[in-house]
Amino acid sequence: MPHTMNTVPFCSDDIPLFLKLAAAENWLAEPWEFEFLHSVFSQGCFTARADDGETKGFVTSLQHERSGWIGNLIVAEEFRGMGIGANLFSSALNTLRSAGVETFWLTASKSGQRLYEKFGFKNIDTIIRWSGQGRQRHTGHDRQESSESLTDLMAGIDFKAWGDRRDLLLATISKRGRVVPGTSGFSVIQTCRDAVQFGPFSALDGSAADHIFNAAIASVPLETRVYIDAPASNHSAVRLFSRRGMQIHGNTELMYAGKKPDYHPELIYGLATMGSCG
């Protein structure tokens, strides 16, 4: 007899199973992300659980000021096609809507795009995943600035890029990662399994982005894998990463629903997370 499937709040004990499902899909996911999402917007994170207690799927979401992100929608392979993903997604979307969110964001794989379109999401860009290697040949000293000046710089440029304040996400990532500052931009180097991610990575112009990228890549040990998720419509980013020998490692679709965002991809050289928070 089949078990009833219930959509219930995501709890911290669910994180190991989510990471197991994510690893089976070759997702780049780290425990900190789910601990962060659960701690700041737990009401928007859900689990699909059978009445026998077995967990079958997950979704997370995050509210900023006027916008929100839905991410990490995953259902165990043997339970796909049963409407579980749609129920999880609907729960997250309705929670963000009830919280007053006006613009809803997500990144979609080809397989997930049709589901999101049913909920009114539209393509606004393509996110390219770039892959390369570190180039550090000797240990140096990273230039540091006060956390307050970095926070102001990061929040200001990020607001221009996305049209919303995302200060809590930026502050959390800058604490766990290493910030590479520039005069008109910044990047954060985050650990990601046995690799690193550059992101968030924003700059007001291509020259600033070039200097930040060179400083960041030169600080990563040789042969360490580097990932960057960047908008395809940022042509300066495409030229920069191509010139520096980065390779395209895949892509997803950036989608939104609700109020059209004041989105400026020319300022975005790297997203903050690998798909779940933008």
What is the domain-level CATH number for residue 85?
A: 3.40.630.30
Q: Which of 236, 194, 231 is nearest to 211 (CA)?
A: 236
Q: Is the dihedral of CA 61, 83, 27, 265 positive or negative?
A: negative
Average pLDDT, the chain: 89
Report the distance separating Cα 87 and Cα 225, nearest Å. Answer: 36
Contacts 24+ apart (CB under 8 A), 189-195: 189/216, 189/219, 189/220, 191/30, 192/28, 192/30, 192/227, 192/274, 193/28, 193/30, 194/224, 194/225, 195/28, 195/224, 195/225, 195/226, 195/227
Residue 30 three-state SS: coil
Residues 173 and 63 in one domain: no
What is the distance, to the nearest Å, from the Cα of residue 191 to the centroid of all Cα atoms in its chain? 14
Whole-prediction pTM value?
Answer: 0.91
pLDDT tens across 43-66, in order? Answer: 999 988 887 777 888 999 999 999
- Number of Cβ atoms within 10 Å of the Cβ of 39: 10
Q: pLDDT at position 12, please? A: 79
pLDDT score, position 138: 59
pLDDT value of position 267: 98
Would you say residue 17 lies in a domain?
yes
CATH of the domain at 264: 3.40.630.90
Domain assignment present for 118: no
d(CA 19, CA 224): 22
Confidence (pLDDT) at 224: 95
pLDDT band at 143 (very low <50, low <70, confident <90, very high): very low
Are 58 and 135 part of one and the same domain? no
In 3D space, the residue among 170, 134, 172 whose CA is nearest the CA of residue 152 turns out to be: 170
Residues 179 and 252 in one domain: yes
What is the domain extent for residue 40? 5-101
Give residue-wise pLDDT tens across range 238-274: 999 999 999 999 999 999 999 999 999 999 999 998 7
In sign, the C-alpha dihedral spanning 2, 3, 4, 6 is negative
pLDDT in tens, 81-140: 888 889 999 999 999 999 999 999 999 988 889 999 999 999 999 999 999 999 887 555
Mark whether 180 and 75 lie in a shared domain.
Answer: no
Q: How many domains does the chain have?
A: 2
C-alpha span between 172 and 186 (Å, rounded): 15
Indicate the residue type of 125: D
Share of the chain above pLDDT 70, in %: 94
